Each structure stands twice: as C-alpha cells, then as structure tokens.
Structure 1
Amino acid sequence: MSKNITNSMSLPREWTKEIDPTGWWITEKYDGIRAYWDGHSLYTKKGIKIPLDEHFTSHFPSGIVLDGELWCGYNSLVKMQAILTKILKSTNQVCLEADKVQYKIFDAPSLDGSYSQRIHKLRQQMNPNSVASVVDILECTGEAHLMQALEQIEKKGGEGLVIRDPKSFYEKGRTNSLLKVKSYKDTEVTMIEISPNSYAYLCLQCGLNQKSDLLHFVGRTENHVL
C-alpha cells in the first residue's frame, strides 16, 4: 500500500553563512529513515506503508500527525535500512524494540500554530517512553554556537543539524524556515555497482524499476561510498 506523502512533508534547504541563525532552534539531523505518521499508520517518505506492531505504535500520541525519523543509533543507517527491508518483506510483525529502533519526532503538522507552539503542544501530549520522543532543541545564540553544536554532533557520529525558525508555520515542500547544516553537501551521483539486496531496497524506496541498469539518487560523496 502506498500513499502520496512527499507532497505533505516539509523539506529543508541548505544553510549558508549569509543567514544569521541567532534565535533559530537547533535540532540534530538524525541519519535514519524519514517516516510520517498520519495518526493511524506510518509511511516512508515515498509513501510506502510500514507495518508496525501495535506495541511500538502504542507509544505514539493518538490522532496527531507526526513527522520524524526511524533511527537505531549512530553510524547505523545501513542497519536501519536492513530493518526496514525486513519489515516490508516479512509476513509477520517485527519487534523493532529488539533492534533499539526509536522514532525521533521533530514536528507535528496537524497541530496549529508556530513551530514553537506545535512543539509545546506535542510535548504536553507525549508520555515519556523509550520508543517515540520529541527531539532535543537548543536555541541558537549565533554562528559560533551553531558550529560548536555541529562539531559535537559529528564527534558522536551524527549526520549534522537542522535549524528551524521557531515562529514558522508548517510548510509543505522546500522551505526557507527549515535549513540543514552539515560539513559536507549532498549531490547527485550515478551508481553503477550495487548488491542485489541493496538495489532492491533502493528501488523500493525510490519507486524505481529493478531492471534499470543505472540508479540516480542523492547521496554522500565525502568518501565516495554510498
């Protein structure tokens, strides 16, 4: 089952030094699988429904649309991708808690108000648990503070940061009120060799035909490993 989710999501632009981050809210950019909770079911960014066991989703606030990331630790993106592939292929429910999978929530699109108001309302309706949690937030005091926070996250193995205008409303598509901050830039590459399992997974996520000889997608190029 698939659903048109991408058009409902807020997508970041790149932060540049011409933009003063003072007063913006800093959150970690988790290197996992973007996942959108419509109040009843969880979907990938490409709109593929993720069948989860009820115990896992019971930790989600009822009836609230959530935007977040499925994450299982630092330097574990490949592991998270493998877990998702297992879930999508399995005929039985998969226990995500055994793999220490967490749902890191960074917004609640269905709640009214600015970002700061949405987060405040969301925290009031969240019960502390080990599965679903609202991301930690810092108020940025300037560029030096932003760079210091980025360095700390990268030392832990994190991907980078996201900064948000706390006064902004939830916008669909690319927005100037949501900016990603990383030491490297994403770029388009052409993949010419890939293992069958990974290829099947990427085709599934990107909505591509597995018979294609080449696969274009956005990936990291810092070590030329994707």
Structure 2
Amino acid sequence: MAFIKYLLILLSVVFTHAIYALQPDVLLAKVYDESKHGNIENYLVSEKFDGVRAIWTGDKFVTRKGNAINAPSWFTEALPQVWLDGELWIKRNNFARVSGIVRTKIPNNHDWQSVAYQVFDMPDPSIPFSTRYQNYSQLVEKLNLPHIKAVKQHSFNSLQSLTSYFKGLTTQGAEGVMLHLASAKYKSGRSDALLKLKPYLDAEAVVIEHLPGKGKYQGMLGAIKVKTSDGQEFKIGTGFSDVQRKSPPLIGSTVTYRYHGLTKNGLPRFASFLRVREPL
C-alpha cells in the first residue's frame, strides 16, 4: 500500500509538471500612465481586441495558461512552424460567444467560420517590435487567408492624436488600445514594453458571498461579496442582468469587474460586474 501511495504521488508530480511545462512565456501588458509613458512617438498603437488570447506554437494553439485550443484542422493547416501571438476574435462586444467556441472540446466548423485569428506579434527575442510587426504583416499577407489577419499598428506624435484615435475606437465599441514600445525586444512577463489603455480598468476577484436583494430585487441577488488575490474584500452590486440576479455567479467562481480608479482606502471605485471568468 505504501508503494502504491508513493507511486500515485510521483505520477501526480510528473503530471503537474507536464501541465505547467506547457505554459508559454508570453509578454503581458501594464496599464498606460500618461505621467510615466508620455513619449507617444516611441510606441506603435493598435486596437485592443476583446477575444481569447491564443499562442500558435508552430503546431497548435494554446491559451496563456498553456491549455490546448481545439481549432478545426482547416483553421490551422496553413499556419507555419513559427511562434505567433494573437487573439481569437469575432467582433466587438462578442467575448462570451468567442470564449464559448474556443472552450468547446470538439470544434464546430460552422461556429469557427465566424472566428478570425488577429496576429499582433511574432515573438523573437533578438529583434525589436517594429521589425516583428513587419515580419508578421508580411507573413499574414503571404498566407492570404480570410481568417488570419495582421493587426495594424499606428504611429502618433502627440497625446492629442492618440486620444483622438482612442476615442474614435471606443465610441464604436472597442475595448481600448494597446501601446507597444517599437524598440523593445521580446521578453516574457509584465513589462512597460506593452501597455493597455481602456476607458475603464478591470480586474478579477473570487466570489465569497451572495448578498440578498431588496425592493425590486427581492428574492434575487442584491450584490456579491468578492475577495481579490491580495486579500481585499468588497461588494459588487451593479452590472448584473435580471437573469444573472436570479442565477448569480457561483461561490468560488472568478469574476471580472470594471472600475474607475481606487478610493483612498485602496478599494475599486464604482466596481461593476462584467462577466464570469471561464477557465481557459
């Protein structure tokens, strides 16, 4: 019995290591701060797509966490044996739909017809992003496939120009913009080389309690109490549909919320429910 127990523990360790070994090293964005990142002309700017981050490893798609994405063979068969980074996307404000399609174990060809792979990087630690942008643009152009697209990058020489571009996109429903330092070589982890600018901030927290509603929400959810990764607890009472109030996010589930800065106590200001974070 002791030997069997030891064997099971050993297999568990090996299996766990194998899972985490598959997790790709990717570049992650920090939040744009005008006071810190004022030299706009140093950045290439593109739309931020509200889809599912997908890394093409050269033979398959995986998520940021290293989980396999089961795309149809016709979707991937022409992709080259190089590392690509991008977003599986349908259109603005369609995150729930594309997330559902991507999480399906057996891909539905009809559903995947609406999905495009928006390539925004071709990682190479030896060259700057400005060159990588040229490389992935030329690659996508050569592939000439309707579902593989190169994310267009823009240059601006003033904050006013960036603001105008940002407002133009967000008023049409875009999630925001990404600023990529043109001279930066590829390096994994959260970095000033990649910045995100959104009309609001968002973050994640775990649901720890359901609070009952009052008045018109009698008998339904009034608010959820959540806990962040650094131990902060607060309530979120807005952003829910009536359907969600009748069937609220499960205790223990992770939710994404939006907010507008922090209070003097360091808590999210005007926190509003955005969505349940589905595991990918």
What TM-score bracket applies, with the shorter chain setting the length? 0.7 to 0.9
Match in the other structure for 1:224: 273
Match in the other structure for 1:151: 167
Match in the other structure for 1:17: 34
Match in the other structure for 1:40: 59
- What secondary structure does 1:224 align onto? strand
136-145 or 35-44, which deviates more:
136-145
Q: CA contact under 8 A between 1:97 and 1:131: conserved in structure 2?
A: no
Unaligned runs of 5+ in 1: 194-211
25-34 or 2-11, which deviates more:
2-11
The alpha-carbon distance between structure 1 residues 122 and 188, as it changes in their structure 2 partners (threshold 3 A), is closer
Structure 2 length as normaliser, TM-score?
0.66
Unaligned runs of 5+ in 2: 1-17, 211-249, 260-270, 276-280
Q: Deviations over 1:173-197 (max 9, x none)?
A: 001111001111123433357xxxx
Q: CA contact under 8 A between 2:129 and 2:182: conserved in structure 1?
A: yes
Match in the other structure for 1:85: 103
Q: Of 176, 196, 200, which aligns to 1:180?
A: 196
75-84 or 108-117, which deviates more:
108-117
User: 1:76 Cα shift?
Assistant: 0.3
**What is the rounded CA distance, in whole Å, between the counterparts of 2:43 and 2:75 in structure 1?**
32
**What is the rounded CA distance, in whole Å, between the counterparts of 1:215 and 1:12 in structure 2?**
24
Alignment of 1:71-150 (within 5 A): 71-86=89-104, 88=105, 90=106, 93-95=107-109, 99-110=113-124, 112-126=126-140, 127-150=143-166
Q: CA contact under 8 A between 2:24 and 2:65: conserved in structure 1?
A: no
User: 1:219 Cα shift?
Assistant: 3.6
- What secondary structure does 1:186 align onto? strand
The alpha-carbon distance between structure 1 residues 99 and 121, as it changes in their structure 2 partners (threshold 3 A), is closer
Which entry has the higher C-alpha Rg, 1 or 2?
2
Alignment of 1:208-219 (within 5 A): 213-216=251-254, 218-219=256-257
User: 1:5 Cα shift?
Assistant: 5.5
The letter of the residue matching 1:115 is: F
102-111 or 165-174, which deviates more:
102-111
The letter of the residue matching 2:136 is: L
User: 1:80 Cα shift?
Assistant: 0.8
**In the alignment, structure 1 residue 28 sits paired with structure 2 residue 47:** yes
- The 4+ residue runs of structure 1 with deviation greater than 6 A are none
